Amino acid sequence: MQQNNNRVMMIRAILFALLVCSRITAEERIELTKGPNAIALPFLPATSNVYDMFAEIMDHVGLVLQFDAKKQNWRVFAPRAPFTSDLETIAMGQPFFVRVSETCQLNLIRHQNPQDKHPKLFRVKLVKGWNSLCVKEKVTLRQLTDIHDDSFKFGTIQLDQIQLWQNDAEPGKLPAYSKIDDPDLDLVPNKVYWLHFQPTEQGQSSTKKSIASSQQQKNTSHTTVTACTKYTRKQLTSDPYDDYVLKKDRHGTPTERIIKLGEIGILIADQDISRDASG
């Protein structure tokens, strides 16, 4: 009887291993350069937990950021910061940013999700305002707006409702954003894109739509940079922490965390984007 039980347990273990292997395809190696790195994965990793993803290089990780489009704000993971991190899992299909203290290698297991059915785009739902975006295969913005699958929410969007920027920075360097005006230009994997979506109000004239769109972009940029523009570059870089500034009250108690625009340089409110978006 004991022998049969052992055999059953062994068979179950083998079946489980086969199931896991059938869903995991390969290990991906990502080279991180000292400083800020923009990561746009063209695949879904096997885990989205921040601690699990960066466990092997946690000693080098100073900061992990990902933009929350619904809240139009950043979620932050800072393992040695004197504030509570609110980024516990990486939202799949969206770029994230990691700052490391020295060059290292991030190893991730590629996970084939059965619900990940579109060959070029991750499951995304654009929201009004800023959205971060990455693609799985080469595709144009015009092709994305031709996707009518309800899972992706691109098919009802018109090209004149969106503006697109790409991050041209080399790893470890401050970003250099450039606006993409050609809807037929190829978007490529491993590159971070920022998309500003301004839905057209029903019955709105083209003139009113243009004015409303311009005003919304100005408001978006203003609200994004408000906290950061209270500080000069000298004030930011003189802080003892490398990755963030703590705004303190008169008693010296931290009241607000502010990501350093001058050092990290990956906020939506980067001066190049702010200038273009505000018209």
State the DSSP string of 205-222: -HHHHHHHHHHHHHHHHH
Residue 160 is encoded by which pair of tokens? 């004149």
Nearest to 141 by CA among 163, 171, 119, 173: 163
Rounded CA-CA distance 105/96 in Å is 16
Query: What's the pTM?
Result: 0.65
Q: Please report the pLDDT score of residue 241 as a whole number.
A: 38
Per-residue pLDDT of the chain (279 residues; tens, 9 = 90+): 555 566 646 655 555 555 455 444 578 899 999 888 889 888 878 888 999 999 999 999 988 888 888 887 778 888 877 667 889 999 877 899 888 889 999 999 887 654 555 666 676 677 888 888 888 888 888 887 766 555 555 656 677 788 888 877 777 776 667 788 888 999 888 888 888 888 776 544 443 444 344 444 433 332 232 233 333 333 333 333 344 555 566 776 655 555 543 333 333 333 223 233 333
Alpha helices (H) along the chain: 2-23, 50-53, 141-145, 206-225, 233-237, 261-264, 271-277
What single DSSP character describes residue 121? Answer: B
Q: Which amino acid is at 173?
A: K
Q: Please report the pLDDT score of residue 155 as a whole number.
A: 53
| Structure-derived torsion over alpha carbons of residues 256, 166, 215, 67, reported in degrees to the nearest 10 | -30
